[in-house]
Amino acid sequence: MDWSTQLGDVLIDMGYVTREQLDEALAEQKKTGKLLGQVLIAKGFLSEGRLVEALAAQQQLPVLSLSRYRPMPEAVRLVPENVARRLNIVPLSLENDRTLLVAMADPKNIMALDELRMLTGMDISVGVAGASEIDRTLSRVYTIQESLDGAGLEIVSGDMPDLDLAHAAEEANPDDAPIIQLVNSVLEQAVREGASDIHVEPFEKNSRIRYRIDGQLFSALDFPRKVHPAVVSRLKIMSGMDISEKRRPQDGRILIRVLGRRVDLRVSSLPTIYGEKMVLRILDQANAMVGLKKLGLAEEDKALVDSVCNAPYGIVLVTGPT
C-alpha cells in the first residue's frame, strides 16, 4: 500500500468505515483538532484494534500485541517514564545494540521519533499498538522496574504491574520487601490479564513465571534461579503451607482482594530436579458467570445455542483445554 494514502481512504478500502462515517468524523476533526482515529473511536465508528491495523497498513509497519510482549529492561532504562508517556511510546527491545524497537500509537509522529533518536543515540524501529494498550503497559513496566531496581533485585525480562493488593500477609523484614512486592505483582497482573493459572517453574539457570490465558501458556517473567526459593517460600507462607517441607507435594489456598474484588487462589507445590514448582489456579468470581451475549458468538450460532438450551430434553457438552 502506498504510504502516502490518506488514513480515511485506507479505512474505507479495508471496509472498516463508510464514506458517510468518514465525512462526519472529518467534520468533527476540523472543529476539535483531534486525530482522525480518535474521533472515529469516540463516535463508535471504529475499534482501536482496527485503527491499529489500518495505521500499520498505511505505514507498512508491523502490529505489536503488547499483552504478549515482554519489554527488555535494558530498553526500558533508555527512555525515562515521563518521556515515554509524553510521546505515547513503549520501548521494547534492542536490536544489534544499535536499534531500539518501540511501540507507537501514532507512527506518523516524526518529531517523537527524532526526539527518541537524540535521547538514546540509537536508530529507532517502530511497530504500531493501541493507545490504551500502550498506557496500560507503561504503568506495568516502569513501576515494577523502578521498584525492583531500587531493591537491587535483578529481573531478566518481563513486564509486571505495580502493587495494588490488600490481603492478610505476615509482617515481613525489610529484606523481604522485594520478594513480597514481586509475588504480589505477579498475582495482580495474572488477575488483570484474565489468567486461569500461574506457573512458577525452576530451570537449570533461571526460573520462569507463565500465565495460562484462554487455554494457552504465555511467558510473563524470567528471573534468576537464586531468587526462586524466596518466591516459593513467600507463596507457601501466604497459602498456609509448611515452608520446611520441600520433598513432598503440598496444597494450600490464598484469598486476595485485587481490583476491588475477592479472588480465591488454589496453590500446589511439586518437587522437581531444580527446585519446587508452584501452580496457582485462579478462581475469579468476575470470570465465573459470563452471559451468552458476551461470548462473541455470531448471531446464527447464538440462535442455535438458544434453541438447544430451550429444548425439553438432551445434553449439551462444552469441551476444550483447561
Count CB-CB contacts under 10 A for residue 144.
25
pLDDT tens by residue, 19-38: 999 899 899 888 888 888 88
Phi, psi dihedral angles at 153 (to 5 degrees) = -95, 120
Q: In a 3-state reduction of DSSP, which class is residue 280?
A: strand
Q: Which CATH class is domain 162-287?
A: alpha beta
Q: Concatenated DSSP letters for 9-76?
A: HHHHHTTSS-HHHHHHHHHHHHHH---HHHHHHHTTSS-HHHHHHHHHHHHT--B--GGG----HHHH
pLDDT value, residue 100: 93
Alpha helices in the chain (DSSP H): 7-13, 19-32, 36-42, 48-59, 73-78, 81-87, 110-120, 131-151, 177-192, 228-239, 285-288, 299-309
Q: What are the cell numbers at 83?
A: 518521556
In whole angstroms, give the CA distance from residue 233 to residue 241. 9
In whole angstroms, give the CA distance from residue 88 to residue 8. 22
Mark the ranges of the chain whose per-residue pLDDT is less than 50: 1-4, 147-148, 150-174
In whole angstroms, give the CA distance from residue 234 to residue 151. 17
pLDDT value, residue 145: 52
pLDDT value, residue 157: 39
Tell if the pTM clears 0.85, that is, is over it: no
pLDDT value, residue 286: 62
Radius of gyration of the CA atoms of the chain, in A = 23
* CA dihedral of residues 99, 101, 107, 112 (deg, nearest 10): -60
In whole angstroms, give the CA distance from residue 302 to residue 239. 41
Count CB-CB contacts under 10 A for residue 309.
10
Query: What's the full length of the chain, in residues?
Result: 322
Closest CA to 55 of 109, 107, 113: 107
pLDDT value, residue 143: 58
Closest CA to 269 of 306, 310, 238: 238
pLDDT value, residue 201: 95
pLDDT value, residue 174: 40
In whole angstroms, give the CA distance from residue 87 to residue 38. 16
Domain boundaries of the chain, sorted by first residue? 7-59, 61-159, 162-287
Task: Classify the C-alpha dihedral 139-140-143-149 as positive or negative.
Answer: negative
What CATH number has the domain spanning 61-159? 3.30.300.160
pLDDT value, residue 194: 81
Q: Do domains 61-159 and 162-287 have the same CATH topology?
A: no
Q: What are the cell numbers at 28?
A: 468533527
% of the chain at pLDDT higher than 90: 27
pLDDT value, residue 129: 92
Q: Over the chain, what is the mean pLDDT?
A: 81
Q: What are the cell numbers at 20?
A: 458517510
Q: Residue for cell digits 462515517?
A: 21
